[in-house]
């Protein structure tokens, strides 16, 4: 992918790992092997220090403050917005709305873009591999408006059926919502092609980029989408902060979704007027420290380099795939040709939760369960999988540790 186009020098993993304080801790008497970055990635000292530095020296409420600290806090907060704009290549900071995370971003689109416009019989198209946060907000919207959610199928490898998708786009389709990368399967979707087909038909597009932002370069203008959602905590930033990118023309026409301070220009009992974009969509005191941390995470990722990160993670993915495929009774769930850095699997005769517990006793953190993607589990006929997901700090040696521990755990549990 990108790594192939650019020269990607290998990462200096010892240096990278030293940037992440938590990676030096022991868990249950073993060095931590953190393979759950798809749920929440660890934070480098640069992020931790940026958040603490803000709290120590600059904290105050943002906007409308004449005093020095308020102006510093505002500059830091708005500086983070500009970093996000550059990170996703948005045309303007007016298109960058800070939210709690991907979940809130998608709910904002459903409630503020969808609810006022959609009517009975309108259709919302999602794919079968979506995280619940890109399904349930549309179901809620459908219940409120009489619209219908239609589902694009996936195949046995976890690839979304593009022909079936085209077949679902009809005169009543108002919106398409799809993941850039699947959290349960790792599938990378060719989102630009999906978006182009929707745009040709005048259909709005929402991309759930929660699993893409940490791993792939994101260019919202190249993708061509109307909305793009992601969370800081999956890209080495803090929890409680995320981003909705929204095309300015659409955002300008959307009613506010929450009312309160900061989103207004004037308030009177005769009626209120709304603030400029993007502040109209940020009611109340925002997560200022979180935004500062997200800005630091973006700087950190930029310092390491997207191409080098992608190359390293692809290497880990290929290595892990080959090693795990050699374990008798282990079945990989999600084998798309274009995959991001995680392996999801089942082991015959062993429950994922038992497996996860034994791995934890060896200091290895994996996630087990339905990964908030129950329709994916249903498709593959499994209640749950074990998922090992990789970040830029993981090593082949950690994959070896996983492999060895899996062998022992399977012998113990069968």
CB of 70 to ligand 7TS, least distance (A): 29
Q: Is the peptide bond before 278 cis (omega within 30 degrees of 0)?
A: yes
CB of 255 to ligand 7TS, least distance (A): 23
CB nearer to ligand 7TS: give 234 or 308.
234
Residue 157: φ, ψ to 5°: -95, -10
In the window 257-316, what residues touch ligand 7TS (CB under 6 A)? none
Q: What is the DSSP string of 69-97?
A: HHHHHHHHHHHHHHHHHHHHT-S-GGGEE
CB of 37 to ligand 7TS, least distance (A): 10
CB 258 within 8 A of CB 207: no
Q: Kindly report the three-state secondary structure assignment for every residue of 179-193.
A: ECECCCCCEECCHHH
**Segment near ligand 7TS (CB under 6 A); pick from 153-161, 206-214, 255-263, 378-386:** 206-214
CB count, 10 Å around CB of 121? 11
Could you give the angle at the alpha carbon of 377 between the alpha carbons of 373 and 378, nearest 5°?
115
Q: Distance between CA 414 and CA 294 in Å, rounded?
A: 44
In the window 315-334, what residues touch ligand 7TS (CB under 6 A)? none
CB of 342 to ligand 7TS, least distance (A): 9
Residue 88: φ, ψ to 5°: -100, 0
CB nearer to ligand 7TS: give 104 or 122.
104
Q: Distance between CA 112 and CA 247 in Å, rounded?
A: 14
Q: Distance between CA 253 and CA 287 in Å, rounded?
A: 25
Q: Distance between CA 11 and CA 9 in Å, rounded?
A: 6
Q: Distance between CA 118 and CA 120 in Å, rounded?
A: 7
Would you count residue 208 as binding ligand 7TS (CB under 6 A)?
A: yes
CB nearer to ligand 7TS: give 13 or 39.
39
CB nearer to ligand 7TS: give 37 or 145.
37
CB of 213 to ligand 7TS, least distance (A): 10
Long-range contacts of 52-58 (CB under 8 A, 24+ apart): 54/288, 54/289, 54/292, 55/289
CB of 329 to ligand 7TS, least distance (A): 24
Q: Distance between CA 24 and CA 32 in Å, rounded?
A: 7
In the window 109-168, what residues touch ligand 7TS (CB under 6 A)? 131, 133-134
Could you give the angle at the alpha carbon of 386 between the alpha carbons of 355 and 154, nearest 5°?
155
225 is annotated as an active-site residue: no
Among 183, 314, 386, 394, binds ligand 7TS (CB under 6 A): 183
Could you give the angle at the alpha carbon of 319 between the alpha carbons of 316 and 320, nearest 5°?
80
**Segment near ligand 7TS (CB under 6 A); pick from 60-68, 100-108, 278-286, 352-360:** 100-108
Among 83, 128, 339, 371, binds ligand 7TS (CB under 6 A): 371
Among 37, 74, 173, 231, binds ligand 7TS (CB under 6 A): 231
CB nearer to ligand 7TS: give 179 or 263.
179
Q: Distance between CA 182 and CA 129 in Å, rounded?
A: 6
> Which residue has tokens 């374990």?
327
CB of 208 to ligand 7TS, least distance (A): 5
Would you count residue 13 as binding ligand 7TS (CB under 6 A)?
A: no
CB nearer to ligand 7TS: give 72 or 360.
360
**Segment near ligand 7TS (CB under 6 A); pick from 96-104, 161-169, 309-317, 358-366:** 96-104
Among 175, 210, 291, 355, binds ligand 7TS (CB under 6 A): 210
Among 179, 216, 277, 364, binds ligand 7TS (CB under 6 A): 179
Where does 279-413 have alpha helices with state H?
288-304, 306-325, 352-361, 374-380, 396-413
Residues with active-site annotation = 372
What does the binding site for ligand 7TS look like in residue numbers (CB under 6 A)? 38-39, 101-103, 131, 133-134, 179, 183, 208, 210-211, 231, 367, 371-372
């Amino acid at each position: 992918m990108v790594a192939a186009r650019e020269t990607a020098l290998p990462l200096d993993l010892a240096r990278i790992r030293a940037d992440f304080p938590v990676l030096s801790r022991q868990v249950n008497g073993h060095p931590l092997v953190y393979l759950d970055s798809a749920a929440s990635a660890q934070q480098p000292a640069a992020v931790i220090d940026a958040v603490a530095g803000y709290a120590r020296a600059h904290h105050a409420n943002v906007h409308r403050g004449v005093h020095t600290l308020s102006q510093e806090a505002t500059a830091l907060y708005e500086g983070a917005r500009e970093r996000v704009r550059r990170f996703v290549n948005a045309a303007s900071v007016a298109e960058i709305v800070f939210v709690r995370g991907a979940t809130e971003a998608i709910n904002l689109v459903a409630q503020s873009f969808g609810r006022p416009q959609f009517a009975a019989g309108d259709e919302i198209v999602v794919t079968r591999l979506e995280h619940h946060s890109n399904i349930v907000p549309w179901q809620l919207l459908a219940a409120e408006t009489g619209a219908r959610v239609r589902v694009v199928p996936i195949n046995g490898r976890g690839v979304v059926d593009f022909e079936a998708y085209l077949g679902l786009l009809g005169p009543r389709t108002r919106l398409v919502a799809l993941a850039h990368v699947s959290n349960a399967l790792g599938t990378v979707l060719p989102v630009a092609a999906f978006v182009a087909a929707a745009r040709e038909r005048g259909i709005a597009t929402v991309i759930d980029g929660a699993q893409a932002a940490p791993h792939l370069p994101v260019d919202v203008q190249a993708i061509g989408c109307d909305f793009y959602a992601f969370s800081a905590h999956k890209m080495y930033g803090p929890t409680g902060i995320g981003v909705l990118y929204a095309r300015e023309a659409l955002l300008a026409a959307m009613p506010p979704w929450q009312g309160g301070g900061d989103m207004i220009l004037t308030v009177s009992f005769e009626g209120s007027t709304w603030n400029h974009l993007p502040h109209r969509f940020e009611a109340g005191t925002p997560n200022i420290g979180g935004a500062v941390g997200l800005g630091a995470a973006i700087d950190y990722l930029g310092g390491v380099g997207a191409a080098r990160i992608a190359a390293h993670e692809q290497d880990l993915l290929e290595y892990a795939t080959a090693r795990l495929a050699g374990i008798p009774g282990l079945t990989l769930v999600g084998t798309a040709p274009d995959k991001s850095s995680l392996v999801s699997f089942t082991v015959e005769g062993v429950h994922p939760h038992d497996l996860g517990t034994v791995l934890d006793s060896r200091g290895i953190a994996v996630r087990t369960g339905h990964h908030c993607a129950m329709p994916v589990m249903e498709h593959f006929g499994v209640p749950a999988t074990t998922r090992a997901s990789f970040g830029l700090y993981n090593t082949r040696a950690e994959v070896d540790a996983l492999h060895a521990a899996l062998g022992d755990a399977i012998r113990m549990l069968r």
